[in-house]
């Protein structure tokens, strides 16, 4: 990572923490690894930089422990030195677990990094359920990941999902504000509960026919299963979402797709709009139910 200092005089520590919003944890890591350079010379955080100086951060090579490097093709939507964005297929677990040790998104990305000489951990900006498809973004170093998380917390990153829900909506747009928590007695299922964490979802009905509706969903918070729980709470579970009351008659998984991700580039600042085409199973469902997309 390279920065050109614009201030007349400023310490490395002040520049990185105040001007670039580097976390204390990451600054300590850079200090310990000797990864800070000014005009090509290794420097301490107390070093004073001047206007026009070239400040460079070098991160030690790393790999994701416990993640197998798998040779699985990726549908790449965007890639540069800072980011990798893919279109995740439905049915692919995001990370290895005792049930799914292989065939995961993390394993596929780790393998892709290894084949292309990218020596870094697999760092996802959020993650999708196994049966949710669509855009997933990965930061290629700790600085990029920290900055993306900051942007997400600040509300600068917008996620847009496409979904097919059951039933017809009386209002074609609205916002669901209902707290979500773990359902008693279940390790997986969530529910709307007063003891849960605040959750907000905005929805827009794009088209509806008797029995089904095509929706755009905008999660304003990031709770587990939020979109699925909120639609079920409205009485409109997603098609295929048998966990939350939907029917599996016409699609074998919940009909939810992370369609767009709008985010400012963590280094260049330009706004990126990453879009993932609808997978075949959802296109078939839309056709079968007479919806128009």
Residues carrying an active site annotation: 129
Measured CA to CA, the distance from residue 223 to residue 33 in angstroms comes to 35
Sign of CA dihedral 264, 148, 115, 88: negative
State the chain's maximal CA–CA distance in angstroms. 68
CA distances from 212 to 57, 90, 241, 266 (A): 52, 21, 13, 39
Measured CA to CA, the distance from residue 127 to residue 91 in angstroms comes to 13
Tell me if 219 sits within 8 A of 159, measured CB to CB. Answer: yes
Q: Pinpoint the alpha helices (H) of 105-220.
A: 105-115, 142-153
């Amino acid at each position: 990572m390279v920065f050109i200092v614009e201030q007349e005089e400023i310490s490395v520590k002040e520049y990185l923490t105040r001007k670039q919003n580097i976390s204390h944890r990451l600054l300590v890591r850079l200090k310990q690894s000797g990864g800070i350079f000014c005009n090509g010379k290794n420097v301490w955080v107390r070093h004073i930089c001047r206007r026009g100086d070239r400040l460079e951060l070098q991160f030690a090579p790393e790999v994701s422990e416990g993640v197998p490097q798998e040779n699985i093709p990726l549908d790449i939507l965007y890639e540069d030195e800072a980011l990798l964005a893919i279109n995740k297929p439905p049915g692919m677990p995001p990370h290895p677990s005792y049930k799914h040790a292989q065939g995961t998104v993390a394993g596929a990305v780790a393998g892709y990094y290894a084949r292309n000489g990218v020596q870094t951990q697999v760092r996802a900006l959020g993650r999708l359920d196994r049966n949710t498809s669509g855009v997933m973004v990965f930061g290629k170093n700790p600085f990029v990941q920290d900055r993306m998380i900051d942007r997400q917390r600040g509300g600068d990153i917008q996620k847009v999902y496409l979904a097919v829900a059951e039933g017809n909506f009386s209002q074609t747009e609205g916002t669901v504000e209902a707290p979500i928590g773990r359902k008693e007695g279940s390790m997986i299922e969530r529910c709307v509960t007063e003891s849960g964490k605040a959750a907000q979802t905005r929805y827009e009905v794009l088209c509806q026919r008797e029995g089904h509706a095509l929706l755009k969903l905008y999660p304003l918070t990031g709770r587990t299963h939020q979109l699925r729980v909120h639609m079920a709470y409205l009485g409109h579970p997603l098609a295929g979402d048998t966990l939350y009351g939907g029917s599996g008659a016409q699609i074998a998984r919940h009909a939810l797709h992370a369609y767009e991700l709008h985010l400012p580039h963590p280094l260049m600042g330009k706004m990126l709009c990453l879009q993932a085409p609808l997978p075949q199973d959802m296109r078939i469902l839309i056709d079968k139910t007479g919806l128009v997309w």
